[in-house]
Copies of this chain bind each other. A is one copy, B any other.
Amino acid sequence: MDSVNGIAQEQLKNFIERIERLEEEKKGLAEDIKEVYAQAKAVGFDTKIMRKVISVRKMDRQEREEQETLLDVYLHAIEGGDLPTAGDPTAPAAAPVTDAAE
């Protein structure tokens, strides 16, 4: 029993150390980012606006991805044979797919 728990303990220690290591690195990157902002400010840029710009660009990217995903869903629906009977005009190929929207 001792050896078993010992193994578990060793495992746990490893997990925790890995996580702490990764968080260290993450923290380091956060500091790097701060520094870049500081540099930008030092040469006269308005960091507040920069942040806005970055966040907008981020949203754009997210939006693009969402649309790609949506497209994938459509393509899948077609391939999968979920396609409504061809020739039936009342069954739109590009139907709501409501859950994808939410």
CB pair A29–B32 under 8 Å, yes or no, is no
Contacts A32-B22, A36-B22, A92-B45 given; does A62 touch B60 at CB 8 Å: no
State the number of copies, please. Answer: 4
Contact residues in B for A52 (Cβ distance below 8 Å): 66, 69-70, 73
What size tier do the contact residues of chain A reach? 35 or more
CB pair B46–A94 under 8 Å, yes or no, is yes
Dominant secondary structure at the A interface = helix
CB pair A45–B5 under 8 Å, yes or no, is no
A28-63 interface code vs B (CB 8 A; 1 in, 0 out)? 011011001101100111101110111111011011
CB pair B57–A63 under 8 Å, yes or no, is no
Q: What residue in chain B is nearest A76 (Cβ atoms)?
A: B49
Contact residues in B for A40 (Cβ distance below 8 Å): 12, 15
CB pair B49–A73 under 8 Å, yes or no, is yes
CB pair B49–A33 under 8 Å, yes or no, is no
